A and B are shown apart, each in its own frame.
Chain A
Amino acid sequence: MTAPTGSPVTRPPVLANPSISIRLRRAAQDTNTVLWRDTLRTLRQPDLLFFAVIMGVFFLVLFNYIFGGSIGAGAGIDYLGFLVPGVLVITALQGAQQTSLGLAADLTEGVTDRFRSLPMSQVAVIAGRTIADAARNVVSLLLVAMVGLLMGYRFASFVGAIGAIALATAIGYGFSWLGAGIAVKVRQPDMVGMLSMFWLFPLMLASTAFAPAETMPGWLQPFVNYQPISAAADAVRGLAGGSPAGEDIVLTLAWTTALLAVFGPLSVRLYKREPQ
């Protein structure tokens, strides 16, 4: 071991009052760095991607071959055509759960402590992760869509397919911030895993992702009709199937914006809170 000082290091100037543009540029730089780090981590944990895809495939196969007959016949619809867009939205939602679990695990690893002592934007820690998760989501969505195609599903158009996957990614991104909020509030990975059942399952099953609202009991229908996953499932179904879905698309984007507006600042505030 020789002298540890070595060649001089150029640290950025310490500015007492950095301008908004410098602060934004630094925050973007940090987000990009965290994104690079989380992408490396994702690539080294292909099991996460595998699980997200395999869940989607499970839902496609199970619902189509087990419940498909009764749901399809009962509602008088082509069930595979109904199911594939729904499962795309569910796959995106699973990705949001992984944000929650991944961030909670991160918070228990010591590296988060170092992040706090670094001259970096703390928003970047969450922003970088949600973007990395969104990128992974796009890959899982493409793979699930491919399985759908193998099962005989057909998108109405190429543009529709792109739109469907983009919209599913968008709502998934909104829910990623909800997942992040839970993770920074609760912090223990086991607890976060259990809690995610409470928001994930009702949203997932009591939605129009797997079955039309009309097939469900009347008391449940108001929830089913007005919750974000139904809007997203209907919107993605419209885009993928080439039927008009303007209202649902707007509603889905509104839900996404609302999730970001609420859980963005909340997550960041909770993250900055002192660890106990």
Chain B
Amino acid sequence: MLCIVDTMSTSNQNTADPVIAARNLRKSFGDVEAVKDLSFSVAPGQVVGLLGPNGAGKTTTVNMLATLTSIDDGSASIGGFDVATQPDLVRQLIGLAGQAAAVDEKLTARENLELFGRLYKLPSSERKQRADELIEQFDMADFADRVAGTHSGGQRRRLDVVAALVADPPALFLDEPTTGLDPRSRAELWDAIGKLAAGGTAIVLTTQYLEEADHLADEVLIIDKGTVIASGTPETLKRSLEGDVLEIHVDEGEMPGALELIGPVDGLVSDEEARQIGVPVGDDVARSLEILRRLEDGGISISDFQLRRPTLDDVFLNLTGAPTEKAEVPA
């Protein structure tokens, strides 16, 4: 059903040694296998996106790489140091922005950055300067001197991600960095992540948003139930769907009739609530016209239609049979 693309391909084909390497990672919690046999690597300047629904094993993977969760089987290294046996060294090379806002709520944004700078043991002459710099670059001046407990969700999230950048680590883990951010903050953060990668940082990013993976990642691993079900560049993954999707919106009460007229089509997606049907039509324009004509002749009133290139959403649907954001949460 799917075309797996070779996992090492990247858009900017980097030949440097990987900064982050995960080999056959496994992790179980009791009877639940959270991660089963996951391998990937991230070169300097590369962004790898782990894409999947809640419970797919993305956070567990990040936590294993960031020394927070022990590895049951397999191995991982950061900058050549083994995560399991040399965690102290690995911690000097990583920055982590986890899902929960991990900042001190009783300290101001500036004090938080200072705190983490001290713990990374940056020279005292640089700590304040670095904090000032990050505050300016990430547009945090408005709330830099207020305690984090009073920040808005978006401000705190931003501080959380920025706190991971204090020591300008060569390996960065961002676990759903834009969840809960308003569109403007999200766009800014995307911009910043792109620039960090351009500066040579190896980045692992987890997300539930296909759009985000599409926008940021050089390579996307689609994860479901702890395993990689597809991987490749966003482009290859989208290409793997081959061809366009005809998206049809119909009027109230027309869905059953429309579906009957279209008949069974492989990969057809219907959304009752949105009164929307997506039909994969390949590159065959005649086929699209034929479907529309059939509906029109059948007296179905079509409110809108469009022909579009497949999105990563479609890839995910195709692979798992469930849409990402509305997916049932697997155990």
A-side residues, CB < 8 A to B, are 1-12, 14-16, 26, 29-30, 33, 36-37, 40-41, 44-45, 109-120, 274-275
Residues of chain A contacted by B126 (CB below 8 angstroms):
9-10
Interface 0/1 of B72-84, CB less than 8 Å to A: 0000000101000
- B195 CB to closest chain A CB, in angstroms? 5
B319 located at the interface, meaning its Cβ lies under 8 Å from any Cβ of chain A in the complex: no
User: Cβ of A113 and Cβ of B68 under 8 Å apart?
Assistant: yes
Residues of chain B contacted by A36 (CB below 8 angstroms):
115, 118
Of residues A4, A8, A37, A109, which shows the largest number of chain B Cβ atoms within 10 Å of its Cβ? Answer: A4
Interface set, chain B 82-110, CB cutoff 8 A to A: 86, 88-89, 91-94, 96, 98, 100-107
A29 to B120, CA, bound (A): 11
Interface residues of A: mostly helix, strand, loop or mixed? loop
Residues of chain A contacted by B167 (CB below 8 angstroms):
9, 11
- B98 CB to closest chain A CB, in angstroms? 6
Nearest-neighbor residue (CB-CB) of B88 within chain A: A119
User: Cβ of A26 and Cβ of B121 under 8 Å apart?
Assistant: yes
User: Cβ of B137 and Cβ of A114 under 8 Å apart?
Assistant: no
User: Cβ of A119 and Cβ of B119 under 8 Å apart?
Assistant: yes
User: Cβ of B100 and Cβ of A110 under 8 Å apart?
Assistant: yes
User: Cβ of A3 and Cβ of B89 under 8 Å apart?
Assistant: no
Residues of chain A contacted by B139 (CB below 8 angstroms):
1
A41 to B112, CA, bound (A): 12
A230 to B69, CA, bound (A): 44
Nearest-neighbor residue (CB-CB) of A2 within chain B: B137
Interface 0/1 of B176-201, CB less than 8 Å to A: 00000000000010011001100100
Residues of chain A contacted by B195 (CB below 8 angstroms):
3-5
Per CB-CB distance, the 4 closest pairs between chain A and chain B, nearest first, are: A110-B102, A110-B100, A114-B102, A5-B199
B-side residues, CB < 8 A to A, are 66-70, 79, 81, 86, 88-89, 91-94, 96, 98, 100-107, 111, 115-116, 118-123, 126, 129-130, 133-134, 137-139, 147, 163, 165-169, 188, 191-192, 195-196, 199
Of residues A30, A36, A116, which shows the largest number of chain B Cβ atoms within 10 Å of its Cβ? Answer: A116
User: Cβ of B196 and Cβ of A33 under 8 Å apart?
Assistant: no
Residue among B91, B102, B103 making CB contact with A119, cutoff 8 Å: B91
User: Cβ of B116 and Cβ of A114 under 8 Å apart?
Assistant: yes
| Contact A111:B137 (CB < 8 A) given known A3-B195, A5-B168 | no
Of residues B104, B111, B122, B129, which shows the largest number of chain A Cβ atoms within 10 Å of its Cβ? Answer: B104
| Contact A110:B199 (CB < 8 A) given known A1-B192, A9-B122, A274-B69 | no
- A131 CB to closest chain B CB, in angstroms? 16
Residues of chain B contacted by A7 (CB below 8 angstroms):
129-130, 133
Residues of chain B contacted by A275 (CB below 8 angstroms):
68
A115 to B68, CA, bound (A): 10
| Contact A116:B67 (CB < 8 A) given known A11-B168, A41-B107 | yes
Nearest-neighbor residue (CB-CB) of B167 within chain A: A11
User: Cβ of A114 and Cβ of B163 under 8 Å apart?
Assistant: yes
A24 to B102, CA, bound (A): 26
User: Cβ of B106 and Cβ of A44 under 8 Å apart?
Assistant: yes
